[in-house]
A and B are shown apart, each in its own frame.
Chain A
Amino acid sequence: MIGTRSDGLDRPLLVAPAPLLAIAALLINDHVLKSLATGDAATWVTGKVSDVAGLVYFPLLLLALLEPAFGPLRERRHVRVAAIVTGLGFAAVKLWPIATAAYGITWGAMQWVALASIAAAIGDDAPHLLPVACVADPTDLLALAGLAIPWFGRDCDSGTGADRGEARRKSSELAGEFPEAKHSTILVRPI
């Protein structure tokens, strides 16, 4: 079988340069650059960098977390649905005070689980359950541009338009030679 779906599904979406770089950028930006930033402009930029980096990898993380329940979710349509869901959620948090509060409480609860586990392990008292800080800033919606990377990313390393045309031509030829391969999915490499 050539270009079967299983070929494309072996490679997890998160284990790819773009999401891994985004995660690294988020960690460096939040733990190093933000503390170095002085002035409103620098604070504004570091805030946006965090949002963009998060939006690059979050749809793929979302799919990875759903995979145990739904099986492999590594096709382009899955990534795009996850990107839409992520974008809508992000916009809601930035524009709708109830969603902002819900985000703060949810993330606070997740942090609490981690902190309480650490406290229990070292024999300390459990920390207070506190929401995380979240600023509802509509200008953060500029960061939605970061979703373009997962949205189009799976084609990033599949070559030029001419290469793709060639690939399609060869695939058609193969489908003619191997009728059983006619309905197989063309291999699309993850980003």
Chain B
Amino acid sequence: MRRSTALRRVLHGLAIVVALSATVATSQRRWHVEAPEVGAAAQSLDAAQPGAVRRFRVAARPPLAGYDGAHARVTLQGTATWAAPPGATGTAVLRVVYTGLLRPDAQASSEVVLRPGEPLALSAVGDVDVSRCVEGRECGGIVGVEVTWPRPEGRVELAWTAAATASGTPERRRAEPSGDGLLVIEAMP
């Protein structure tokens, strides 16, 4: 009788482990690849050059390129600092436009306000569609940010970094993207 009870407990424990494993293991894990963050050379805005453009190239390589539903999520982060001329008061207003991003979720509005000497963080997140690439070929897109200073007074220093990640649902009968180098982001000159 005791042996029977012990056997039942063992079977019960085994059944729980198998059921839990079946429950958890059968759900497909999303895949995930990322490109290392890159920085770009600093830019200055002043009366002589009141606008600047910074572009980054996002490239996906097979099997990420052309993978069904694959989007590269690009995060652009920047800092703007206004070096105001002596005696300047008030603020500097910059116009910021992000380009090349599908559905950009810009945390900075299209106009940002700088105060003298206070660095202001700028950021935008958006997608680059890499699912429509021709299968087997590297492809991607160019994302960028254009900053203009309509009424320059003194100098504004700009610095940008960019990073990209991609994730998606595994497709049947197709190797899921994994490993280094599948997604690259680099600053363009």
Which residues on A are within 8 Å of B, measured CB to CB?
A: 10-12, 14-15, 19-20, 23, 26-27, 30-31, 34-35, 37, 50, 54, 57-58, 60-61, 64-65, 104, 107-108, 110-111, 114, 128, 130-134
Judge whether B12 and A30 touch: CB under 8 Å: no
Contact of A107 among B15, B27, B169, B173 (CB under 8 A): B27
Judge whether B16 and A65 touch: CB under 8 Å: yes
Q: Residues of A contacting B15 with CB < 8 Å?
A: 12, 14-15, 19-20, 23, 64
CB of A72 to closest CB in B, whole Å: 11
Judge whether B32 and A128 touch: CB under 8 Å: yes
Judge whether A27 and B169 touch: CB under 8 Å: no
Contact of A14 among B19, B32, B169 (CB under 8 A): B19
Max chain A CB contacts within 10 Å: which of B5, B8, B23? B23
Name the CB-closest residue of A to B33: A128
Knowing A35-B172, A133-B170 touch, does A110 contact B24 (C-beta < 8 A)? yes
Contact of B20 among A15, A31, A61 (CB under 8 A): A61
Contact of B23 among A31, A35, A37, A61 (CB under 8 A): A61
Judge whether B19 and A19 touch: CB under 8 Å: yes
CB of B46 to closest CB in A, whole Å: 43
Judge whether B12 and A64 touch: CB under 8 Å: yes
Q: Residues of A contacting B28 with CB < 8 Å?
A: 132-133
Q: Residues of B contacting A26 with CB < 8 Å?
A: 22, 26
Q: Residues of B contacting A130 with CB < 8 Å?
A: 29-32, 167
Knowing A11-B8, A15-B8, A133-B170 touch, does A30 contact B26 (C-beta < 8 A)? yes
Judge whether A35 and B32 touch: CB under 8 Å: no
CB of B56 to closest CB in A, whole Å: 23
> CA of A15 to CA of B172 in the docked complex: distance in angstroms?
33
Judge whether B22 and A23 touch: CB under 8 Å: yes
Name the CB-closest residue of B to A60: B19
Q: Residues of B contacting A64 with CB < 8 Å?
A: 12, 15-16, 19
Q: Does B18 contact A (CB under 8 A)?
A: yes
CB of B179 to closest CB in A, whole Å: 13
CB of B136 to closest CB in A, whole Å: 22
**Apart from A37-B172, A61-B20, A64-B15, what are 15 other A-B pairs with CB-CB below 8 Å?**
A11-B8, A30-B26, A35-B173, A50-B26, A60-B19, A61-B23, A64-B12, A64-B16, A64-B19, A65-B16, A107-B27, A110-B24, A130-B167, A132-B30, A133-B170
